[in-house]
Structure 1
């Protein structure tokens, strides 16, 4: 017994359907069903299918191109076309009119349904009438696989393929879908209310009823005051690229058919992510090379400069400043190896990409370099407030993932014209260098953001890159302490530094160092004996304070961290 379009229209699901054209084909036999999410689906059609579409696959097609697609579908003897409006499609009314004409010509019914009717419900209804349970699963797997394959074939390089894939999946399972990277930053979502991810300790593994190479976790979350199921699938894309596919059960309960659609979507998401990763790596390498040459003054011709600015989409005569960001351990006993620095810098890169607009960003292993376009007439105090807010947001993001680290940054002055970027970059590096020193010798806040214009006298010291010359700015008294016996030197240096920070208050110094007052007094007396520092002489005390800073700058130069 055949299942026809006429019989389909008698079901509860399709009772609100309106026949736009092709009534002569209502007795057409239904042999299958699929959703049109890409024009290329025509190559997967065998004939006799009911096609479901919101016309979004043809949203930018010209009328002539659209007619070509429809003629190709009609030549496959499609059983019927079911459409629903509601999305932004160019020439939608004219395209529907063309469909109606095609329907009359080929006896291919065109039905319109209300937007709220789910395509998933129609697919389930048709398959239940055509096949037994096992065949239905196989047919559904084939249908969803072909749909996602056709979608992948239709994507162009400028299109957000992941967004298109999860949009199709969301329609198939009638629930919101989101994709997050490994750092739990939302890359794409079909529901803007679901753009945060937290994996609970109570998340449990789910058996989906058939073999899968992916692990499904389910957890309970609260959305709009209601407790919902949320499903998480870990995506291992490349060695450097991982993430999560997240499905939140808001409308329908996830069933076996949904898992089939999810499996096929994952395959295409992995393909698309791999494609995007390959493209981004090439672009990143190319862009990084251009940025490196711009920042280091290695572009020597006007033609090369024009080409570089065009490739980066930057203005030749724009106003820019350079910022150098990095991460600093909150405690002196926290050591970061090379791999840790690289991984943590990736977190920092994610945060900076989130909060900086109109900027070019370069990941430079253990630091992030930002070229920020700014208003030429912006007041320094206004920019200081703006960058402080951004830095606090970046710090909050880092704190969620890396509690033991804090953000530091050096910021160069505004330069006019892209040719002058090396000057701002040098200033940003100098300020970044001093930020590292400032964190070492003080306890001022969780993050440290230094503008080059704030360096004062240290601008002069930043110009000196020879450690022997810098050594001349460390008073002989302090040099004697640095050269003292190593077994005692570190305690004495820490005591002296703390003593100066506490304005030569022995009681506060002892408290900060968790030592007895008499021990602190003994150490200060010993420091006086070794160095001859006169703590009653303000000029000498200031020289020692500066000496500590210069010594730290020398350490940084020797370790070549900049």
Structure 2
């Protein structure tokens, strides 16, 4: 083809590209016009770059079967097209030897798909690859192949294709902008229509699934599956959490807006997209899209889904607001129980929450205390909001009623149990709930909690007493040497007697009772105090004491004799033994 004809062909091609604003139409026209512009070419493929997944994907082709080609994803630098993308310079592969060398780093999976798309594997006899440049960034690569051994591309072909690529880039960008707006508007309208009709999160999820023709699920920030577009989508969503916990953690902590992963699940390839759902600056969940065969979303759909994620955020906030509203009402009722007299009004309020005073229940109060003295009021408020969400998540799992009162830097809960629950079962249930809450509080928003559980009571009038017990437990955790952050009132034992005693008095008692032994140990680097403690806890059995301390019985006998001499007593018995053990308890559990 002479130069004049080539230019005429190029002008006609540019006219065709600018005749429409629909992206798919533009790309299909572009790939066909390439074969008209570049004489002797047999096939062409357009790779576009997806920033979100950092891959080049085959978007349109002529001479290839897109049924197979659409599954090809190239890393930047992989193959002839990937190398052209990185270098941002057009290049000619003159011979089959050149194309073979240019494709040597392509994976076996991609080569297999490439062969199937041709109807039989073969390397091109010659090829040209040119980058599509926009504002000094490469947005894709246009590759043209010759499979006729008699023909070969030359520098004129390269220059012509580069000129064509400049015009093609303009057409692609214009069509992309138009199609993005059109696709986003359409998706937003469809999902908003469902939301406004009170369809709820489930119906919105199903609507999105229908629009993009893929399985969809919504997680909260704890990876609980809230809703899914189908039972199959729900199974996939649950399996991803179970089999890919590290992936889920990476997703929730990642700063990128969207993450794509290709995974193996149920012996099949899956392409998985995670879109974060935000409320203010906090991630409150993930919108997950699952594609079979490791496929990818059309970037236009991906952009539209990103914009539409706000609808999911609004719906999730609506659900949460309803739950928090219920919590606040239950908190109002609990406040009445704890700080006012139980009257007909509060009984009516309880009845609204399905608690009938004529029925028999067991009640227990639990206090959560935010042990963060250095936080500002704003920080405390933000973290308490997150804590309330975590508490709400846990109590929704429980098969019995729970009341929650938000008060300053503490959150008080009253749990209502049926009579057939034993004290041990109630303790286990509550310990399990708060272990999860404390774990999330520490891990997700770096908040330290002290938890106090009151005694179990059988009437609403006694709930105040249970709450006072819970307060004592928290006070004890604040002032003791215990490493534990959860304490039930029944675990306090004799220590509950020390809670209201002046520390100076306790300190004096320990010094008067154990002071000489402590001083002797410090001077001589001995273990008399520990020996005394183990001996008294072993019912004054020397053999058991020796066994626990991994020493000979004669050693224990000698140490006890030394203790008697220091304390100027004849034997460790009666009132003397009681006072010594009491002093040991005070020293161990109450800082003095």
TM-score (norm 2): 0.50
Give the unaligned 5+ runs of structure 1: 1-131, 206-212, 329-334, 512-518
Query: Are the equivalent residues in 2 in contact too, given 1:179–1:243 (CA < 8 A)?
Result: yes
Matches within 5 A, 1:394-473: 395=435, 410-416=453-459, 418-430=460-472, 440=482, 450=488, 452=490, 461=497, 465-467=500-502, 471=506
User: In structure 2, what is the Cα distance between the partners aligned to 1:269 and 1:181?
Assistant: 11
Shift of 1:144: 1.0
User: In structure 2, what is the Cα distance between the partners aligned to 1:247 and 1:535?
Assistant: 76
Shift of 1:546: 3.9
Shift of 1:216: 0.8
| Partner residue, 1:230 | 272
Matches within 5 A, 1:102-141: 137-141=180-184
| Partner residue, 1:256 | 299
CA change 1:411–1:490 in 2 (3 A) is farther
**CA shift digits 1:168-211 (9 cap, x unpaired):** 22332333333333344444444433243756369999xxxxxx
Q: What secondary structure sits across from 1:254 in the alignment?
A: coil
Q: CA RMSD in A?
A: 5.6
Structure 1 residue aligned with 2:186, among 125, 143, 147? 143
User: In structure 2, what is the Cα distance between the partners aligned to 1:150 and 1:218?
Assistant: 28
Shift of 1:394: 5.8
CA change 1:202–1:192 in 2 (3 A) is closer
CA change 1:325–1:420 in 2 (3 A) is closer
Structure 2 residue aligned with 1:270, among 288, 310, 313? 313
| Partner residue, 1:200 | 246
Structure 2 residue aligned with 1:388, among 404, 428, 431? 428
User: In structure 2, what is the Cα distance between the partners aligned to 1:352 and 1:301?
Assistant: 30
**CA shift digits 1:305-351 (9 cap, x unpaired):** 135324544333342311426599xxxxxx97665995795686266
Structure 2 residue aligned with 1:356, among 398, 405, 409? 398
| Partner residue, 1:309 | 350
User: In structure 2, what is the Cα distance between the partners aligned to 1:400 and 1:490?
Assistant: 43
User: In structure 1, what is the Cα distance between the partners aligned to 2:367 and 2:527?
Assistant: 33
Q: What secondary structure sits across from 1:200 in the alignment?
A: helix
TM-score (norm 1): 0.52
Matches within 5 A, 1:76-115: none
CA change 1:494–1:350 in 2 (3 A) is farther
User: In structure 2, what is the Cα distance between the partners aligned to 1:326 and 1:471?
Assistant: 27
| Partner residue, 2:261 | 219
Matches within 5 A, 1:292-303: 292-294=335-337, 296-299=338-341, 301-303=343-345
Query: Are the equivalent residues in 1 in contact too, given 2:279–2:313 (CA < 8 A)?
Result: yes
Q: What secondary structure sits across from 1:412 in the alignment?
A: coil
User: In structure 1, what is the Cα distance between the partners aligned to 2:250 and 2:590?
Assistant: 53
Q: What secondary structure sits across from 1:249 in the alignment?
A: strand
CA change 1:293–1:472 in 2 (3 A) is farther
Shift of 1:143: 1.4
Deviates most, 185-194 or 403-412: 403-412
| Partner residue, 1:320 | 362
Whether 1:162 and 2:201 are equivalent positions in the alignment is yes
CA change 1:145–1:348 in 2 (3 A) is closer
Query: Are the equivalent residues in 1 in contact too, given 2:276–2:285 (CA < 8 A)?
Result: yes
**CA shift digits 1:416-452 (9 cap, x unpaired):** 3x343213333444566678899939xxxx9967464
From the CA coordinates, give the structure whose radius of gyration is larger. Answer: 2
User: In structure 1, what is the Cα distance between the partners aligned to 2:524 and 2:387?
Assistant: 34
User: In structure 1, what is the Cα distance between the partners aligned to 2:502 and 2:436?
Assistant: 36
CA change 1:301–1:472 in 2 (3 A) is farther
Query: Are the equivalent residues in 2 in contact too, given 1:237–1:270 (CA < 8 A)?
Result: yes
Shift of 1:282: 5.6
Count of matched residue positions in the alignment of Structure 1 and Structure 2: 391
Greater helix share, 1 or 2? 2
Query: Are the equivalent residues in 2 in contact too, given 1:408–1:436 (CA < 8 A)?
Result: no
Q: What secondary structure sits across from 2:456 in the alignment?
A: coil
Shift of 1:360: 1.6
